[in-house]
Amino acid sequence: MLPARASFRSLLLVAAAASAWSQTGLSDASLEQLLQVQVTSVSKKEQKLARTAAAVFVIGQEDIRRSGASTLPDVLRMAPGVNVAQIDANTWAVSIRGFNSRYPNKVLVLVDGRSVYTPDWGGPYWDQLEMPLDDIDRIEVIRGPGASVWGANAVNGVIDIITKSSQATQGGLGVARGGDRGGGAGLQSGGAIPGAGTYRAYAEYSRTGDSVQANGLSGDDGWWRMHGGFRWDWNFSPADTLMTEGDLFSNRESETRYQFFTPSPTDVPFAQRFDAAGGSLLSRWNHTFDGGSDTTFQAYYDTYRRTEMGQPESLRTFDLDFQHHLRAGNRHDIVWGLGFRAFQSAVPAGYQIAIHPPVQTDRLFSACFQDEIHLANNLWLTIGAKIEHQSHADPGLEPSLRLAWTPTPRQTLWAAASQAIRQPTRAETSIDAQTSSSPASPGVVVNTWIEGNPHLFPEQLRDYEAGYRLQWTNTLSLDGAAFASFYHHLATGEPLPALFIQTPSQVQMILPFMYYNRAHAFSYGGELAVNWNAAAWWRISPSYAFVDTNFRLDSDSGDTSITPLVPTVPESGFQLRSFLNLTRRVEWDQTFYWNTKVDSGAVPHHARLDMRLGWRTGEHTEISLVGQNLVGPRFLEFGANAYQIVGTALERSIFGKVTWHF
């Protein structure tokens, strides 16, 4: 636990060090231009940030480069309202506006429009998403529901990772990184195909060493990864563009884990080795008509196989998506579309877990409509809805209403009301798992089990938001948002009648539980980000996020553990980011984070300080030295146990990186 005096000294250190940060990563742009940045994730069309009626934060390539981050979750730390907690060396919990978990089922993550949400457990596997950070154009983070555009599970937010066109990555790129926690290397080549567009191809390798448990023992959680892929962009006519990209990966990992989901006196942690491998292929065709309307047709295939839970879990997904964007008269800007997704999940029995049936195929049909209505010169109303029908669920409607008002060119006020749903995972509808085993007395053992409920309802959110963006001066701006969220039909574990099994050696008392929808929650809070160009060579940006979540069991609930409902994020968090150009070629960047304790008691209040020193040795080479977690010696960021995984502590680390363009 970090002493208050040390945290105060750290804060003074960062403040005195001179800090700066760019929300969009456009290092040479004025704040006047930053408010005109185009975002696409809110409405599936290009839209000015200043006119967007949603809480959007854009992480640009310059932010990523100067952050010194080496993983995607570390990149996401800079977005206010996003809680990132590292569980062990290869596992993260990433959520927006609360409800954090190893499987954050209320956040939808996309890579170039491809969903990476797993229907088995919920949320993405972050260790399977690692990619060359230099190839990311920007990451658009939507805080709040995005279901009227992206569908189910976009409840508390959307993280859309958008990679660069291959036209922007011509030539060669070599990257090497090494330090006390491991290292890696990558090689990339981009070029033109005569008469057939441009391409890039890349391959990378990384290795991460074991981290340390809170008791000082090794977490036995090191891992290595091999990853390769390509992207091809072709403008084959003045009105048509075609993009195709794909990748393959292979991970070898380990972790220290428990046998059961809940602590048991007889459950001894053990080290487990597991593999994960897979790949994806995506293609997108854009066509622009003479009248200015445009269509997009996208198809992708995604597959992975993972042996972590003692069984080879696998998922195959095939997705088709059509979208038409058109203007109707002078006031209506319309986007409508149709979608189809088929996914086959296979989870054979392993350890104390079984899912029935072990192989299941689902189909998802969807349709969406959104109309941005220009009510007046400075007033826009957006109405939209998405309807989805899944094979094993009733149709779901996810509407939204958004209003944006720009009383002056320097300020925007907006408000939104939305409804979103979170579809139950297979682990909630079909699981049969032993969760603990405890000796009650000589010859008597108490075993608890959790059973899936095939009739579980989708969780539902009704959300209300408001925000304000202000460009105060040409060098100072702020962006704030507040929200009130009402959750209904949250999943709980309800007790069933006890069973007794007599064997020659002992008596087993079986305490079964089953998932039901018997809880509600109310959440409120807000985020504020300030950008200040203190000088041409110095940027400063503090940000603050607050969220308070209150849970309530229904009167007919018998859930006594409420394990999935315990608050798992700090109530408030503050960060101060800095981009400082010491000379034309030397950069010094700092980020200070401060988070309050988690109400569950699993994580105390803590501070984190990251620093980066970068040196451009010439037109083509950059050398950087990065220090992370420089405040305290070590601390648990998520807790000691997360879905059977033994949590490990974040420690101070230092690494160097060389980037060479050729």
* In contact, 56 and 39? CB cutoff 8 Å: yes
DSSP-derived secondary structure letter, 349: -
Q: Residue 33: its pLDDT value, please? A: 56
Residue 12, pLDDT > 70, answer: no
Mean pLDDT, the chain, whole residue set: 90
Q: Give phi and psi for 112, each to the nearest 5.
A: 55, 40
Residue 16, pLDDT > 60, answer: no
Q: Which of 658, 650, 643, 611 is nearest to 101 (CA)?
A: 643
Q: Residue 521: its pLDDT value, please? A: 94
How many CB atoms are closer than 10 A to CB 596? Answer: 16
Per residue in 184-196, pLDDT (tens digit) is 999 999 999 999 9
Residue 396, pLDDT > 60, answer: yes
Structure tokens given for 352: 């104390």
Q: Map residue 199 onto helix, strand or coil.
A: strand
**Of 21-30, 39-48, 505-514, 597-606, where does mean pLDDT reach its minimum?**
21-30
Distance CA 375, CA 503 (A): 75
Task: Locate all alpha helices (DSSP H) within 421-522, ordered by sequence.
Answer: 426-429
pTM of the complete model beyond 0.85? yes
Percent of the chain with pLDDT over 90: 75
Q: Which of 38, 46, 60 is nearest to 541 (CA)?
A: 60
Q: Which residues contact 409 (CB under 8 A, 6 or more apart)?
A: none
417-456 CB burial, b ≥16 within 10 A, e <16: ebbbbbbbbbbbbbbebbbbbbeeeeeebbbbbbbbbeeb
Mean pLDDT of 305-331: 93
Mean pLDDT of 512-539: 94
In order of their start, the domains of the chain are: 4-661 (2.40.170.20)
**Of 175-179, 404-408, 595-599, where does mean pLDDT reach its minimum?**
595-599
* In contact, 430 and 360? CB cutoff 8 Å: yes
Distance CA 115, CA 134 (A): 21
Per residue in 231-259, pLDDT (tens digit) is 999 999 999 999 999 999 999 999 999 88
What distances in angstroms separate CA 662 from CA 135, 190, 450, 615, 620, one per listed residue?
15, 10, 56, 17, 7
Q: Is 472 left (phi over 0), alpha (psi -120 to 50) or beta?
A: alpha
pLDDT band at 268 (very low <50, low <70, confident <90, very high): confident
Mean pLDDT of 311-336: 95
What distances in angstroms separate CA 444 from CA 449, 450, 499, 507, 511, one per listed residue?
16, 20, 13, 5, 13
Q: Residue 316: its pLDDT value, please? A: 97
Mean pLDDT of 72-78: 96
Per residue in 540-553, pLDDT (tens digit) is 999 999 999 998 99
Mean pLDDT of 123-151: 95
How many CB atoms are closer than 10 A to CB 106? Answer: 24
Q: Find the angle CA(197)-CA(198)-CA(204) to the nearest 5 degrees.
A: 155
Q: Which of 466, 371, 479, 379 is nearest to 49 (CA)?
A: 479
Q: Give phi and psi for 407, each to the nearest 5.
A: -60, -30
* In contact, 31 and 409? CB cutoff 8 Å: no
